[in-house]
Amino acid sequence: MTETTGSPVKGTFLPGTQIEIINPDIVRGQIQFALFDFDGTLSLIREGWQQVMIPMMVEILKDLNTGESDEELNTIVTDFVTRLTGKQTIYQMIELAEEIKKRGHEPKEPLEYKHQYLDLLWTQIKDRVHGLESGELQPLDWVVPGAMDIVRELHERDITMYLASGTDRPYVMNESGVLGLHPYFGDSERIYGALDDYKSFSKRMIIQKILKDNDLSGPGLVTFGDGYVEIEDTKTVGGIAVGVATNEAERVGIDEWKRNRLIQAGADIIMPDFREAKEVVAYLFNES
């Protein structure tokens, strides 16, 4: 990822925790619904996806022989891939097609690039998925630390949970299933993912659906996510946004780039993972 320099805001930490309160003025104690992003927030199955997508796109642009260096192309691609993280994958492919047009060439349909990327990514993650399906790998090793604790904590409080991902829905359904998450999301009925008809799904649509269907005001919804999109969309409707700045590769500590990006998007709270699930839930429910 590209680096974001400097810290936009310094929050205060809940005593004895790594939970950073950016906005102490949120309305606590009214939560009825929770929305989770999937990849990087709950699941680590697709950890490393950027290292598949970015080189693929750089190679496609390099083959146009524009004279741009690998470094220049890498910067361009990394910028738009990270800017669009959290949206459906197709939007990154639409941007790639636009970059090809800018260079005087006719691109393929964005959906073709998406399928090319998904094929490449599958070669990287297939052993993880098959290992989880067969029982050779353990789900706890492929979720963000504490992920099962946070969904259990919310479930015990009768909070209705939704999952919305920019990854295609069949993959989200399969991967959330092998991780054992379905029971927390209505046996999968409240799990949403990207569709080939990409205009018929967005995280914003899911957020608006939750509010409309339940005659809910903003403070009744909390969103947990590691991407700009779900944080910004939640704040737009007055919800509570918890930025999960996961260090996906090392699985410990804060990813400073994510932290800064999430704060810029409007995150009320920042945490590195869910190891302190009890503490953050107690805070959100005004129990501490």
Query: What pLDDT, in 10s, does the model give residues 5-63?
Result: 455 688 999 999 999 999 999 999 999 999 999 999 999 999 999 999 999 999 999 99
User: Hey, where are the domains in the chain?
Assistant: 12-44+143-284, 50-134
pLDDT score of 2 more than 80:
no
Distance CA 241, CA 31 (A): 12
User: How large is the average pLDDT for residues 192-206?
Assistant: 91
pLDDT score of 196 more than 90:
no
Beginning with the edge strand found earlier in the chain, give each strand of the sheet holding 240-244 in spatial order: 12-13, 20-21, 269-271, 240-244, 221-225, 33-36, 160-168, 191-194
Distance CA 128, CA 142 (A): 8
pLDDT in tens, 246-269: 999 999 999 998 999 999 999 999
Tokens describing residue 177: 């299933």
User: Can you give the pLDDT at residue 5?
Assistant: 44
Q: Chain-wide mean pLDDT for the chain?
A: 94
Global pTM? Answer: 0.92
pLDDT in tens, 153-187: 999 999 999 999 999 999 999 999 999 999 999 99
User: How large is the average pLDDT for residues 211-221?
Assistant: 93
Task: Choose the weakest-confidence range: 56-65, 92-101, 125-134, 212-221.
Answer: 212-221
The position carrying tokens 């789900």 is 139
CATH number of 12-44+143-284: 3.40.50.1000
